[in-house]
Structure 1
Amino acid sequence: MAETTYTLEEIKKHNSLSDLWLIYNNDVYDVTKFVEDHPGGEEVLKGTAGKDSTQEFDDVGHSDSAKSKMKQFRIGRVAGAPPRSEEVKKPKATKSAAPVSQVRQQNQGMGMKAPIIFIIVALIAYYLATGQSTA
């Protein structure tokens, strides 16, 4: 059975609180019945009504529970979007990769040593300069 697809022009027409569709990752959702229950308020949904809300949704950092709840509102796919099986998946970090915080700490390590080294070199230069002038 072929999946229902909707053009962007058709999706844009559903942009009110009483008829609210949005796009997330090329999937189309009719969230009209969820407007009143949305924890972030109806205005948040109205701001992305009839448009692609992928960036806004991801920026908020929705829970897995919220993502799972979305499935019940999915009505189809954006026309012309690649099939779900062909979408590019984000590469997962390998276990051997250092965490970002560890990399930052390593990079900051030299930052702390540089002023100390500079002071030591300056003191040695001062000592040598003053010691040679008195001899």
Structure 2
Amino acid sequence: MGGERKIYTFAEVSEHNNSKDCWLIIDGKIYDVTKFLEDHPGGDDVLLTATGKDATDDFEDVGHSQSARDMLKDFYVGDIDPATIQAKVQQTPPKQPQIPQDKGPGFMIKMLQFLLPLIILGVALSIRLYTNKST
């Protein structure tokens, strides 16, 4: 196994981004996971959305088991040229609009959770008072 490791550029790896040819970059190594797409417990979409970028954080965030990490060895095809991935990492994703915490949809739900029981209690007391005055 004294073969030389193949080094790929980010552009080369990015071309492998569909269900018939899917490569991922994890910890500076490149894996061809095409044959694993149908068997992936999280579904093939998870893997396909991780193409075209460094998927290390995505992989680590899930908390893969040691057996999943060992499976990567079977899919290894080479290493990424770190100089080519740096240019891509520096690009910032588009900013998402920030909703103030007190103005978002969660605020309305919290208000309803607070007010609805009070309204029900008020209606119940009003009915009771009304029926007691009638008799």
Coarse TM-score class (shorter-chain normalised): 0.5 to 0.7
Residues of 2 paired with 1:73 and 1:58: CA distance? 17
Residue 46 (structure 2) pairs with residue 44 (structure 1): yes
Equivalent residues, number: 81
Deviation at 1:52, TM superposition (A): 1.1
Residues of 1 paired with 2:58 and 2:82: CA distance? 22
Structure 1 residue runs without a partner (length 5+): 82-135
Asked if the contact 2:20/2:34 (under 8 Å) is kept, the reply is yes
Residues of 2 paired with 1:7 and 1:57: CA distance? 20
Q: Which runs of at least 4 in structure 1 moved beyond 6 Å after TM superposition?
A: none
Percent identity reads 48
Matches within 5 A, 1:14-93: 14-80=16-82
Deviation at 1:65, TM superposition (A): 0.5
Taking only aligned residues, the RMSD between alpha carbons, in angstroms, comes to: 1.2
Larger radius of gyration: 1
Normalising by structure 2, we get a TM-score of 0.57
Residues of 1 paired with 2:28 and 2:58: CA distance? 14
Deviation at 1:31, TM superposition (A): 0.4
Structure 2 residue runs without a partner (length 5+): 84-135
Deviation at 1:50, TM superposition (A): 3.1
